[in-house]
Amino acid sequence: MSNPIEVRSLDRLPKGGCLIVPGRLDAHQANQLAASLSGRTITWLVEETGTLTEDLQSFLQLSGFQGAAFSKNDESLPDVGKNLEPKIAGNGVLIFVPGFTNSRPGTFCRIPSDILRSLCQLELPVAPLDISVPGETMLQIENSARLPSAILNFGKAIPRGQATIARYREALLSAAEETFSSRDFLKGSLAMAVLHGLKKHSGTNSLYDGTDDSELPFEKILGAALALSKEIKLATKKKRVGIILPPGRGGMIANIAVLFANKVPVNLNFSASHEAVRSAIRQADLDRFVTADPFVRKVADFPWPPNRDLLFIERILPQIKKKIVKWVLLSKLLPARVIAKLHGIGKLKGDEEALLLFTSGSSGEPKGVPLTHRNLLANVCQFGRQLDLPHDTKLLGCLPLFHSFGSTATLLFPIIEGLDLVTYPSPLETKRLAELISQHQVNLLLATPTFLRGYMRRVNSEMLSSLKIVVTGAEKLPENLAKSFLDKFGILPMEGYGLTETSPAATVNLPDPAGENGLPVIPSQRFTSVGPPLPGLAVRITNPATDEDNTIDQSGIIWMKGANIFNGYLDRPEVTEEVIDANGWFKSGDVGRIDEEGFLFIEGRLSRFSKIAGEMVPHETVEAAVNRVWGLDNETERKVAIVGIPDEKKGEAIALLSTIAGPAIEQENLDLRYKLLDDGLPALWCPKTIIPVEQIPVLASGKLDIKGCEELLANS
């Protein structure tokens, strides 16, 4: 017997007649939907080219309700809508029945965009209906027996004649977010999820440390973390514990041990300035730091705390070897709940702080971003279900743990979901990383465009032949780099998008599902976009000049809402109020739009726009044009950066920082202007001046260091 189907938000369904458009529908869901509409006249509506499953066809024929059909190719769809009006007379409803398509699990809308467009052109009142199947978007450690087989949640209705693809998608995203955010597992403990993951996958998964080619099975990681957690509890009474370690077995064990000690890991950025590091330590109120002797020697210029405050992991673990062995054995025998009770694991949960990260400080002092148990459980689930990886997948973990993508995607995700992890302490040593990819037949590579360039320069194409998915983030993926990578390695890098504040993944492109039987394919990638929103994330767009809502297909400031969105900055209520509104929407500070297929396009960072004579000018677009006309597209290092400067007449003007400017600056600027105009750049967007610099400041992730650029500008 299948689990029950829940129907929610029926009060949003117009009391008068309307067209109900579910994002997907099977026979069981259709039956429950019809039952929930008792007392209303129902007519099933199909598009004549759609293909229905046998179960659904059979149900529709036996349901006892009328049917109607239309063609997406009809030249006068508004007239078709008028002909359908009698079907929704009084309180009658038309229910559109989506045809069967090829799509990835977790895809919230399985209606091809051309059919969506034709439905909108019928000019009927539309009631969007999200149908979420929790079994498709669940953690490996969840119990599917406790989940409803589907949740039907009505979104905000769209009045007659106002339906567009953008309005429909926005309403459906919001309804799907409500459903996902109500899931019970989000109230749980991240530490318990890690404990369950390590125990469940103890005999099947391992960490392979590329520094010495050692293998550490999950069962040994669990034993070591349990034993070390006791030492951490004895070492400090503080809420948080600093960790200064690169990716590897030490970094993983330290993070898990801190969680098991009911404390909050704070992975410190050892590539940041001394000022930024000291600020993070002060803000986090840290008095103990887990690190290792070799790493202390390797990054000697780090502002290390006094030796008495350092917990050297490679010294402690040998001293507690007997305890580790004991817990390895006990963890095989005891249920997770008993282990948790013996260690006091899982006391912190839900909206309590689980992990503290700091922003890069690219535009000022680093801000503390406390991510909750709810945030991180949500994002591991969202990211994992969207990827839908086979259990034998191997993931390369070389991204720093002080970056949210490194801590969530290459530490928590493989543990909870049960994937082998191959680690290496630096993403820059691409030749060694390629050797590890080849040696362990790694399937999934998470990187930044900056790091991909290293593979292009130093690696033979055969060494990456095992890769099935390459995902990039942190900075824009240039088209020429993606195509060059595809030409050399035979795999197209997919761009994703996220922020520390979104835990971090928000969208991701992934390979399209295989087309079968000639059925339509719901695409999961769109080149130059950053992909569709992950399951359970709602998006809206506002006008940057007026703050009024745009439809999501109009360019503007991107706002997001979901269980993965943080609750606010550490001890910075005034800054939090600037980015999180009363309804829980997070203002990303990025500018973009969503197209008709549901893909998000990022057009720039709001802080990287200049308002010139009332017009918003995107710095990244101007940089791309300069790189293009100067032939810098294939350069591995940044040669130019656009910054805004004050201008008496127009409020602001564009300046170009350049490492290749010669002595004849005025002539170079004039020549550049002509080239940019010929390339189609508006005159208002052309740089007013070129400022020669020795180097363009960048962060360790490859992002432009905006604060560093402003300092160069001030000193020029």
pLDDT digits (tens, 9 = 90+) for 230-264: 999 999 999 999 999 999 999 999 999 999 999 99
Please check whether the two domains, 5-163 and 190-511+527-588, share a CATH topology: yes
- Indicate whether 703 pLDDT > 90: no
**Would the pLDDT of 289 be above 90?**
yes
- Residues 278, 280, 282: CA angle, nearest 5 degrees: 70
Contact 24, 95 (CB under 8 A): no
* Cα distance between residue 534 and residue 106, in whole Å: 8
Q: Among the ranges 255-259, 357-361, 515-519, 663-667, which has the highest mean pLDDT value?
A: 255-259
CB-neighbour burial class of residue 487 (10 A; exposed 0-12, middle 13-18, buried 19+): exposed
Share of the chain above pLDDT 70, in %: 98
Give me the CATH topology for the region 5-163: Rossmann fold (3.40.50)
Burial (CB < 10 A; 0-12, 13-18, 19+), residue 379, is: buried
Q: What is the DSSP letter of 142?
A: S
Does 702 score more than 80 pLDDT?
no
Mean pLDDT of the chain: 92
Q: Name which residue leads in pLDDT, 23 or 663.
A: 23
- Which residues, including other chains, have CB under 8 Å from residue 129's CB and lie 6 or more apart? 20, 21, 22, 23, 33, 152, 153, 154, 155, 172, 175
List all residues 6 or more positions away from 306 whose beta carbon is below 8 Å from its beta carbon.
none
Between CA 700 and CA 400 the distance in angstroms is 9
pTM, whole model, 2 decimals? 0.89
Is the four-CA dihedral 562, 563, 566, 567 of positive or negative sign? Answer: positive
Q: Average pLDDT of 157-162?
A: 97
Superfamily the domain 190-511+527-588 falls into: ANL, N-terminal domain (3.40.50.12780)
Mind listing the pLDDT tens digit for each residue in 346-358? 999 999 999 999 9
Q: How confident is the model at residue 474 (pLDDT cuts 50, 70, 90)?
A: confident
Question: How many whole angstroms separate alpha carbon 394 and alpha carbon 466?
Answer: 10
Provide CB contacts within 8 A for 612, sequence distance 6+.
647, 650, 651, 652, 653, 654, 684, 685
Q: State how far the alpha carbon of 614 is from the alpha carbons of 544, 602, 651, 673, 684, in Å.
A: 11, 21, 9, 21, 11
What is the pLDDT confidence band of residue 614, given thresholds at 50, 70 and 90?
low
* Predicted local confidence at residue 510, as pLDDT: 94
Residue 280: helix, strand or coil by DSSP? Answer: helix
The number of beta carbons lying within 10 Å of the beta carbon of residue 7 is 18
pLDDT bin (cut points 50, 70, 90) of residue 361 is low
CA distances from 658 to 151, 449, 554, 581 (A): 55, 21, 33, 39
Please give the pLDDT value at position 389: 87
Query: 477 phi and psi, to 5 degrees?
Result: -90, 110
Domain boundaries, the chain: 5-163, 190-511+527-588, 613-715
Q: How confident is the model at residue 651 (pLDDT cuts 50, 70, 90)?
A: confident
Proportion of the chain above pLDDT 90, given as a percent: 73
Please tell me the distance from the alpha carbon of residue 365 to that of residue 362, in angstroms, as a whole number: 8
Confidence check: pLDDT of 363 > 60: no
Q: What is the pLDDT of residue 636?
A: 65
Conformation bin of residue 536: beta by default, left when phi > 0, alpha when psi is -120 to 50: left
| pLDDT attached to residue 548 | 94
- CB within 8 Å of 429: residues ≥ 6 apart: none
User: 543: closest CA among 598, 597, 606?
Assistant: 606
Q: Class for domain 613-715, per CATH?
A: alpha beta
Average pLDDT over every residue of 34-40: 94
